[in-house]
Structure 1
Amino acid sequence: MKNKKRFLAVFVTFLMVVSLLYGCGGKTNDPAPQTSTGSSSDASVSQPADGGEDGPFGKYAEPVTISVVKNLGQSSMEFPEGDSLEDNVWTRYYEDQFNIRFDWKWSTTLEQYDQKVNIAITSGDVPDVMKVNRTQLKMMVDNEQVYDLTELVDKYASDFTKEVLNADDGASLDSATFSGRLMAIPAIVSDLQSANVLWIRTDWLGNLGLDIPETVEDFWTVAEAFATKDPDGNGANDTYALALNKDLFGTGSVYASGEGFFNMYNSYPNIWITKDGKLAYGSIQPEAKDALAALQEMYAKGYMDPEFGVKDANKVNEDVCAGKAGMMFGNFWNMAWVNDAKVADPTVEWVPAAIPGNAKAQLSFGTTSYYVVSKDCKYPEAAFKLLNGYLDKGYGEHAEPLIYNITPEGYGPFDYPVITMEPSMKNFEAAKKVTAALESGDTSGLNAEQMNYYELCKLSLAGDHSNNNWHQLKMFGPGGSLGVVQKYWDNGNVMPDLYYGPPTPAMTEKKSTLDKLQLTDFSVIIMGAPVDDFDKFVANWLNLGGRDMTDEVNEWYANK
């Protein structure tokens, strides 16, 4: 039982990894699950060809030491007995394979990490390899603190590493490129994982004789019924339709979020889209006013929680699990938070559906973190060797997931190294194969990780929804959320964020103020302020820095 509890804790922690943002742990982070099966020995006998000392897997003739720091996530990491951050399966692999050792300068939790990185940058006490955000990367480039990796990537990145780094057609590499020079290794995250789906209670639909909504009109019909027609059959007027959290959009709002609702009205808040051949901010376009008017009507009619304006995602989840709401927009992994409610009442059934109205789902630019190499590093190519090894042993030809990803005892070595990354489309590929295997019974095409998802889905289908089994089914099984999101892509129904450059001067100075202005003005409109106040918001947004930000973004767009 202890091992199962540790496994669940580690799994949920990894599930919430986001590169969003995508730090380690926590319910408000975007997940990327990876439980797996495989060999359980601590030593690998299958190694890639090294290509000589100078190759992607080349071993230094003498030990070299790389200074590093580590973000531990929201709490300290757990290690098998005798292991530690300084001595574990990965550090031993790196020394055996590459003759690389580590000098751990410091480690800290997610809450303190950015602050400590900022201090390191300001003081000039920069380790050889460090993970930074986009703002910090720009600062270090301006300070001439980072090593130019342009000439190293072709020589030292393995073929598989190059494939992973170019999975988004080079956009992430472009975001790490300054004046034509690659100044960091982007921590690739799939944009697709940011897309909203509509989560809806089909047991309520069945009680009311309704179908999953396909059009905006259908959505309103279901909303009225969920709020007024006793969908749970308890004889009380205690339900509402749409769950929405107070933060509305963004990295703190990936559960019961607002993007999907706005997308339903062809509005794309918080991302840069094209308009008249230039980039324009989605939040200030006329379609956003239409979406706000619709949300105001939802609120006024009682189709939403009257207290939504004070409830964060965690509080909204309490209502969802208590059976008070029947629909919400959110990310593909959202049922991780509802799994316990499913265990408590197996009649509860949520399913993912496409955003009604054949709408385009907006995509945030997924890569928000980067690995920088200090300009003073004696062995800058070591960063690529570390990444090559991580991808190879975690996902590549020589993968041993039960050693290097999640162990049978429930430990999570996937998070131990200083450089971590996964193939951006891994989860979508797994969903295709797991769904096909569940439908056919043929598991011969599954790798170890996919086989594990298959087994968890089978448990849920047999009625055992515990240990996040049901959540796995909702992602990887037939009709799962990853399949819904994949169809957006296949059908061209996506609206990507077209700005992925570094923070502009106006963004650095004004964006936090503009974000607060947007949240305040949008919230009061939803709760009853005149819809025409949106026009005042747009004027204020432009005058308080938004116009400068737009000009700077378009200068980048014209020259990229």
Structure 2
Amino acid sequence: MDKSDNKFLLRLLAASALGLSLLISGCSGGSTDPGNSTPSITITYLRPWGPDVKFPAGEDQDNNVHTRWAKEKLGLELKNLWVSPSTNNAFETKLRLTLASDAEMPDIIAYRGDFNLVRELIESGKFLDAGELFDEYAGDVWKQAVNEDPAVWYPFMQDGKRIGIPILDYAYNSDPVMWIREDWMQTFGFDAPKTLSDLENIMEAFTNQDPDGNGEKDTYGLTIGFKNWVNTWMSDAGWVFGAYGAMPNQWNLTEDGELEFGSVAPESKQALEKLHSWMSKGYIPEMAGWYDEAKAVEEFTAGRAGIVVGPHWMPSWPLEDLEKNVEGARLKAYPIPSGDDGQAGRHGTSIANGVILINKDMAHPEAFFTYQNYLFNHFANPTVSGDFEIGLAADDTPEGDQPLPDEEPAESYISEKYTITFDGARIPGLNMATLLKLARGEEAQTPFEKRVEASASRVMLEAAEIVMDQKDLSMKQMFTGAPTATMQMNNDILAKLEKDAFTQIIYGKEPIDSFDTFVEKWKAAGGEQITREVNEWYRSVRGEEH
């Protein structure tokens, strides 16, 4: 047993002589009998439950293979204070009502979603300084995982205290590659596009030379959707800005060491001019401004567009629909192209995708660390013959496996989705390192590597290799602190200014020079003051004097 698994068990031993049987059984690798000699502690919690989480008949959020494991192995009763779906903001609405009415809060809240809600919870004063508990109780594996990027703490801090613990995701998990119809590429004899000029030649053919051979002009070169924004997690257009050295809708580090909002950087003007050119030539759908990410991707999976930009895992979802919808269609990943001067950049993604908050009235907060330490020590990268060699449950099927006819879809009963923190435990660098190893033809040896191999197609491995080959292009959000005072007052106004200006330019409703007017308005409406506040924050977290 890892030493970090022991701390809570020792506390149980001090609380009850019956704890001795738990300590001995746990260290010997056996399970405990909670109905007989094992003292048990209940952890109440809240987390949104998405439509992707499904249970076998007769089971639910409080009664499933995972809750039974937690009770038998760790002596922990896991109970939802209440259950609410993640759709239509139902969870957020109920949690806000709970907070506003000063109703009972659970021991643990695990959440990914509305950052404003996260700040409301942190500022409520109802939660502990989780950083102190983390320093005391988190095991080495968990600490090393967080330390892959210590900046993941910044969004969840208040007055220098780490109120929330970041929920970790895999590194580079949503950094994009360029997905292109390989059958269309071969029809025209195109080589991989290295520059935007190369790409424009391809888009011209895909738009105007009948790549699907149906005799109609019904195809596009590139599908993007910027209803939600131009720099998104799927059907992304941020790489167009990256070709000029900018990245919109985030704070980027300039050569002089200052943070600058990418949407007002001079280079964004060039990117908008390029997007307007593509819109005017019909290379991108006229409805792009009304498409969200999923709707934009439908243009690709329906066979109407030849290029879409998004994460390496898209062949598993949603691009698997392409070959179902279009006979003979083939997919291939390509690197992000550069501008004609060789510059390139892509939207970078954080290794955190949620937060854990611990109620200040929780009687045994160390119990949660026993739970999460065990998952980091034994599930995140399991050993051969270990507890989780084949996942959290023997009947788990890796995501990406295809079910046989008449079987339940593979994703229906993935028990790691039942965990408090959504995905069990993730070591950020492990997934891409494994995908890269497999892409280069090395043999899968560990249980984790074999599980990844079972769910990763060859085209996905090639995409992951491209992600890592171009990792230096990744441009991450550099401001990850709490919203500044002026942001809280002015962000909605500034976001509307930005979206209106970008949309008008892309659609040719306003000339490109209107960008300069937008920048002036943005600065005057609070942007200039926010820039000062953001840089003050940046200096403070770097330990620099103001």
CA distance in 2, matches of 1:156, 1:235: 66
CA distance in 2, matches of 1:247, 1:56: 54
Q: How does 1:526-545 map to 2 (within 5 A)?
A: 526-528=506-508, 529-545=510-526
Change in CA separation of 1:238 and 1:136 when aligned onto 2, cut-off 3 Å: closer
Q: Return the letter of the residue paired with 1:394.
A: F
CA distance in 2, matches of 1:413, 1:380: 24
Change in CA separation of 1:65 and 1:58 when aligned onto 2, cut-off 3 Å: same
Deviation at 1:481, TM superposition (A): 1.8
Deviations 1:346-388 (A, max 9, x none): 5212212221115122314452421000111111112222211
Equivalent residue number for residue 63 of structure 2: 87
CA distance in 2, matches of 1:138, 1:312: 26
> Does residue 289 in structure 1 map to residue 257 in structure 2?
no
Equivalent residue number for residue 33 of structure 2: none
> Does residue 266 in structure 1 map to residue 245 in structure 2?
yes
Q: How does 1:457-476 map to 2 (within 5 A)?
A: 472-476=457-461
Deviation at 1:215, TM superposition (A): 1.4
Equivalent residue number for residue 70 of structure 1: 47
Q: Return the letter of the residue paired with 1:427.
A: N
Q: Return the letter of the residue paired with 2:414.
A: G
Secondary structure (helix, strand or coil) at the match of 1:96 reads helix
Deviations 1:321-367 (A, max 9, x none): 22221112222233321212213445212212221115122314452
> Does residue 412 in structure 1 map to residue 414 in structure 2?
yes
CA distance in 2, matches of 1:513, 1:368: 26
Deviations 1:424-459 (A, max 9, x none): 2233123123223xx46xx3x3333432443455xx
CA distance in 2, matches of 1:356, 1:525: 23
Equivalent residue number for residue 301 of structure 1: 281
Q: How does 1:269-418 map to 2 (within 5 A)?
A: 269-275=248-254, 276-335=256-315, 336-345=317-326, 347-357=328-338, 359-397=344-382, 398-400=386-388, 402-404=390-392, 407-408=396-397, 410=410, 411-418=413-420
8 Å contact from structure 1 (residues 56, 157) kept in 2? no
Equivalent residue number for residue 487 of structure 1: 469
Secondary structure (helix, strand or coil) at the match of 2:260 reads strand
Deviations 1:397-438 (A, max 9, x none): 4352545167147412111122343122233123123223xx
CA distance in 1, matches of 2:40, 2:452: 39
Deviation at 1:302, TM superposition (A): 1.7
Change in CA separation of 1:245 and 1:379 when aligned onto 2, cut-off 3 Å: same
Deviation at 1:296, TM superposition (A): 0.6
Change in CA separation of 1:263 and 1:152 when aligned onto 2, cut-off 3 Å: same
CA distance in 1, matches of 2:480, 2:171: 11
CA distance in 1, matches of 2:280, 2:4: 66
Q: Which runs of 5+ in 2 are unaligned?
A: 20-38, 398-407, 542-546
8 Å contact from structure 1 (residues 94, 389) kept in 2? no
8 Å contact from structure 2 (residues 45, 106) kept in 1? yes
Change in CA separation of 1:151 and 1:508 when aligned onto 2, cut-off 3 Å: same
CA distance in 1, matches of 2:226, 2:132: 47
Q: Which moved more, 1:135-144 or 1:152-161?
A: 135-144
Change in CA separation of 1:54 and 1:324 when aligned onto 2, cut-off 3 Å: closer
Change in CA separation of 1:401 and 1:539 when aligned onto 2, cut-off 3 Å: farther
Q: Which runs of 5+ in 1 are unaligned?
A: 1-46, 458-471
CA distance in 2, matches of 1:344, 1:257: 22
Q: How does 1:197-276 map to 2 (within 5 A)?
A: 197-247=177-227, 249=229, 253-275=232-254, 276=256
Deviation at 1:268, TM superposition (A): 0.4
Deviation at 1:196, TM superposition (A): 2.1
Change in CA separation of 1:177 and 1:55 when aligned onto 2, cut-off 3 Å: farther
Equivalent residue number for residue 434 of structure 2: 430
Equivalent residue number for residue 118 of structure 1: 96
Equivalent residue number for residue 171 of structure 1: 151
Q: How does 1:436-455 map to 2 (within 5 A)?
A: 436=440, 439=441, 443=443, 445-455=444-454
CA distance in 1, matches of 2:132, 2:250: 33
Higher RCO, 1 or 2 (CA under 8 Å, sep at least 6)? 1
Give the superposed CA RMSD: 2.6
Q: Detail structure 1 runs of 4+ shifted over 6 Å in the superposition.
A: 55-60
CA distance in 2, matches of 1:181, 1:318: 44
Q: Return the letter of the residue paired with 2:70.
A: Y
Deviations 1:436-493 (A, max 9, x none): 3xx46xx3x3333432443455xxxxxxxxxxxxxx33322xxx2221111122xx22
Secondary structure (helix, strand or coil) at the match of 2:490 reads helix
Equivalent residue number for residue 8 of structure 1: none
TM-score of the superposed pair, with normalisation by structure 1: 0.80
8 Å contact from structure 2 (residues 252, 260) kept in 1? yes
Deviations 1:175-227 (A, max 9, x none): 33333322221112345223222111221111112111011221122122222
Equivalent residue number for residue 173 of structure 2: 193
CA distance in 1, matches of 2:54, 2:244: 45
Change in CA separation of 1:58 and 1:175 when aligned onto 2, cut-off 3 Å: farther
TM-score of the superposed pair, with normalisation by structure 2: 0.82
Q: How does 1:74-153 map to 2 (within 5 A)?
A: 74=51, 77-110=53-86, 111-124=89-102, 125-132=104-111, 134-153=115-134
Larger Rg: 2
The alignment covers a number of residue pairs equal to 487
CA distance in 2, matches of 1:258, 1:121: 38
Equivalent residue number for residue 25 of structure 2: none
8 Å contact from structure 1 (residues 56, 158) kept in 2? no
Deviations 1:228-264 (A, max 9, x none): 222233333222211111326378x422221122212
Change in CA separation of 1:221 and 1:250 when aligned onto 2, cut-off 3 Å: closer
Equivalent residue number for residue 465 of structure 1: none
Give % identity: 26
CA distance in 2, matches of 1:401, 1:537: 55
Change in CA separation of 1:403 and 1:363 when aligned onto 2, cut-off 3 Å: closer
CA distance in 2, matches of 1:58, 1:388: 16
Deviation at 1:151, TM superposition (A): 3.0
CA distance in 1, matches of 2:356, 2:473: 32
Deviations 1:33-58 (A, max 9, x none): xxxxxxxxxxxxxx656764446997
Deviations 1:540-559 (A, max 9, x none): 22223322322221121111
> Does residue 546 in structure 1 map to residue 527 in structure 2?
yes
